[in-house]
Structure formats: structure tokens, C-alpha cells
Amino acid sequence: MLLYNQVPVRVTESFILSGYRFPDYSFAECLLSAFQPTNETGNFWTHFLAVFVFAFSFLEVFLWDRSLALTDPFYYPFWSYFIGVCGLLLVSSMAHLLNSMSLLIRELCFFIDYGTISSYTVGSSLAYFYYINPRVRWLFEALYVPAACVIALVCTLACCNTRQQWRRHRYVIRTAVFLLPFLVVSVPIFYQLYVGVKNSSTALFFFRHCFWLVVSGAFNISKIPERFSPGKFDIWGHSHQWFHFCTFMSILDELHMIKAEI
């Protein structure tokens, strides 16, 4: 593993001094690095293992009640949400694992990663739209899902651009565009809170969902704890791993909220 001054500047992360892989790994070496102490090892496992936790939590709906049909059209938005989340977690983990093959592949990995965030946004909007129905449904039919798609596309382009420009403020911009879709997608919940949510579980899970999102954004921007002790958290415990953990916890509470509405 290499120090920050032994790899290209584009590969380095703020306050991470060691544990870097030089961008000329083979595919097999990248796979092997999942079991080696690098600064990407924790980033890989925090989202790769989360796929299985999420899949089990998702399938609980059908395991509890065997009378529910997996192919029932009623659950199509739920499956869209499932595909969006699993795509996000899988692609994110693979992006962190395979990005050291070359500088070009590194950029492509994270471009695709940002794209899956948008697919997750659209999947969430479909689940919110069909299961959390506002009284002004006619307005949402015309604006809500199209707006979520447009916002998702804009945010993807903005995130990709931070890898070429605006690099000085890249963490702030990426966090902002990560939270912006949440504000748009959550409009049905905000409306339900405004008129009074009948299902108390929905409100509880939504507030927890918001809490984890705010904490994840704080980790991503502040670069705590490595900011206060550069070099100590290079392999385990740095902010991006906490960012992954908190975003997954927010997704898990979001899943519980949607399940409570089905």
C-alpha cells in the first residue's frame, strides 16, 4: 500500500495519508484487495454486506405472509424501489473495489455510481407515489414523478462534474445534490405530516430516515474523524465509511416506512 504522495493527486482523499492502491491493478488484484487493509476496504464492505441485510428486510414482507404473490402488480413499485436500492449498494461497493485499475476506469466507476443514486431516487419516488397517497393526487400525477426524474438527472450530472471541475468544493456539492432528491421525493411525506399522519409508524421511521441522512451529510462534509487525526483512520473508521453506514441506516428506515404503508 502506498502513501498519498506516491499516487496521482486525483486519487487522494483529504486527510487520508496511506493505504492507497496505485491505479494499475488488474481485475484479480482488485478483487483480492477486498481482503487487504486499504483505504477502500471498509468502503467496499459497508455497502456490499448491506445488500444482503436490505434484501432480507425487503423479503420479510413476503416471508411473513405466504399468501402474498411476488408477481402481484400491486408490488411493482416496491420491486422498483428494491432494484434501485440494490443497484445503488452493489455499484457503490464495486466502484470502491475496482477503481484502481486505471484513472479512466476510476472515473467511469464513480460516474456509474452517481447514476445509480439517481435510479434509487426514481425507485423511491415510485414507492412514495403509489403507497403514500396525498389527497391532491391529480397534482402529483402531473408533476411528482417527472420532477423526481429531472432532479435525479441534474444531480447525476452535477456529481459527475465535480470530478472534473469544482474539486475544491466537491464534498459540499456532492452532499448537497445527494440531499436535494430527498427533499423532492419526500413531498408526499411532508404533506402527510402537514395534514396529520394517521400511521404513527410512518412519522417515526421518516424522522429517523431524516436523522441518518443529516448525520451522513455531516460526515461527508466535515471529514471527521480523520480531519482531527490525519493518518490514524486511513484504513478503518474514516468519514466515508461512516457516510456509507449512515446512508444505509437511512435507507433501512425508509424501507420500514414504506412497508408500514403497504
**What gap in Å lies between CA 1 and CA 242, rounded to an integer?**
22
- Binding-site residues: 96, 240, 244
Q: Is the separation of the CB atoms in 46 and 251 below 8 Å?
A: no
Sign of CA dihedral 64, 66, 67, 72: positive
Residue 192 to residue 190: CA distance in whole angstroms: 5
Instruction: Report pLDDT for 94.
Output: 97
Total count of residues recorded for the chain: 262
Question: Is the Cβ–Cβ distance between 151 and 180 less than 8 Å?
Answer: yes
Write the CA distances from 49 to 78, 219, 237, integer angstroms.
Answer: 21, 20, 16
pLDDT confidence of residue 236: 95
CA atoms of 251 and 29, how far apart (whole Å): 31
Whether cis (ω within 30° of 0) applies to the bond prior to 77 is no
Q: Which residues are annotated as a binding site for Zn(2+)?
A: 96, 240, 244
Cell reading at 28: 484479480
Q: Find out whether 199 and 259 touch, Cβ atoms under 8 Å.
A: no
C-alpha neighbours within 13 Å on the C-beta side of residue 146: 5
Mean pLDDT per block of 10 residues along the chain (262 residues) reads 88 93 92 95 96 93 73 89 95 96 93 90 89 67 82 86 78 81 84 73 90 93 94 95 96 93 81
User: In which domain, by residue range, is 176 found?
Assistant: 4-261
d(CA 226, CA 78): 38
Domain count of the fold of the chain = 1
